[in-house]
Amino acid sequence: MKNLIDKLERDNYLDKDELLTLLTGFTPEDADYLYKKARKTADRIYGNSIYVRGLIEFTNYCRNNCFYCGIRRDNKRAERYRLSKEDILACCENGYQLGFRTFVLQGGEDPFYSDEMLVDIISEIRAKYQDCAITLSFGEKSYEQYALYKAAGADRYLLRHETANEEHYARLHPKELSCMNRKKCLYELKELGYQVGAGFMVGSPYQTMENLVEDLLFLKELQPEMVGLGPFIPHKDTPFADFESGRLELVLLLIGVVRLMLPSALIPATTALGTIHPQGRELGILAGANVVMPNLSPVGVRKKYMLYDNKICTGEEAAECRNCLQNRIKKIGYEIVVDRGDYKALEAVS
């Protein structure tokens, strides 16, 4: 297995069969070998800096009905909320004071927010915080809509592809949603000049190792600037309530593989990873991640943005999470920096 890992480090690529061999046959020693190389790669490009993104979960209304997600349309037990423009700007101000230089506006697909409203919110953040990056994450829109938000000042867009395999996609989503449209959105976002984030859940229901290989090869083809991956975690009020969570070891392995396949990628150690293991986020960083995304949403709404059960950090103030993470990251030899944390193309480093 070590020679496969060496090859991955050298070529930033393995073919389908090689990836399958790696994912199905790795031992704990192989995993450690991979993490060391992944970490070395991240250190070479980003040093010991860990970037922070302030997550503002501005609406938990969603017109979609994804089988895995706690804020799906049919979950009548979800208590719905929406933040006003003023609420959102207050989150940004709080975040700015705490040293955040990226704001992520994330929400369900909520038609309440018209393009006019979204453009107004984005432009105001753009004007007020010129040294900050604005990241959007509110699902599938048309090319024209993405273009409007970009013109208003957005820099980045997060849209996990969830699974690159069409049949698997259809087992996780109702039939109005398609893998093809998801991928189309990602390519359009790239074309418009966004820094783009794709990604997927590890251990989602019906996922096979072959599916994960397809996910990795899709990422290699798309070349996203950001890759979000975390474990699937069941939510009690969804059709997937009785499935098991994704496994820590597999998530970490995939973080390591993605780091070597896309050396410059910005890879978050996700909240979901922190939810399945008390040191999940630290382990994610040690396996090659270089971003953390603490919550900036008002404490009063945090418990309502429950995509999965037992989500961490829903009772804490933004300042508490910021300090907590700072300490955790320091302990493992890394440092949170006050920086937009843009993508660094490899050529610019070596």
- Contact residues for ligand FES, defined by CB under 6 A: 294, 313, 316, 320-321, 324-325
The interface partner of residue 62, options being ligand FES, ligand 5AD, none and the CB cut-off 5 to 8 Å by kind, is none
Query: Tokens for 317?
Result: 């103030």
CA pair distance 132, 128, nearest whole angstrom = 9
Query: Which is closer to ligand 5AD, CB of 107 or CB of 263?
Result: 107
Query: Which is closer to ligand FES, CB of 260 or CB of 313?
Result: 313
Binder of ligand 5AD out of 62, 125, 186, 307 (CB under 6 A): 307
Q: Please, what is the end-to-end C-alpha distance for the chain in angstroms?
A: 28
Please report the sign of the dihedral spanned by the C-alpha atoms of residue 216, residue 107, residue 105, residue 150.
positive
- Between strands 133-137 and 195-202, the pairing is unpaired
The interface partner of residue 272, options being ligand FES, ligand 5AD, none and the CB cut-off 5 to 8 Å by kind, is ligand 5AD
Q: Are 149 and 119 in contact (CB under 8 A)?
A: yes
- For every residue of 88-144, DSSP letters joined together read HHHHHHHHHHTT--EEEEEE---TTS-HHHHHHHHHHHHHH-TTSEEEEE-----HH
Query: Which is closer to ligand FES, CB of 255 or CB of 321?
Result: 321
- What is the C-alpha R_g of the chain? 19
162 binds ligand 5AD (CB under 6 A): yes
Stretch that binds ligand 5AD, among 43-51, 57-65, 229-237, 327-335 (CB under 6 A): 229-237
Binder of ligand 5AD out of 100, 157, 308, 334 (CB under 6 A): 308
CA pair distance 281, 270, nearest whole angstrom = 6
58 binds ligand 5AD (CB under 6 A): no
Instruction: Give the x/- contact pattern for ligand 5AD in 95-124, rule: CB under 6 A.
Output: ------------------------------
Minimum CB distance to ligand FES, residue 303 (Å) = 14
CA pair distance 54, 116, nearest whole angstrom = 23
285 binds ligand 5AD (CB under 6 A): no
Instruction: Name the site residues for ligand 5AD (rule: CB under 6 A).
Output: 68-69, 160, 162, 201, 230, 232-233, 235, 272, 307-308
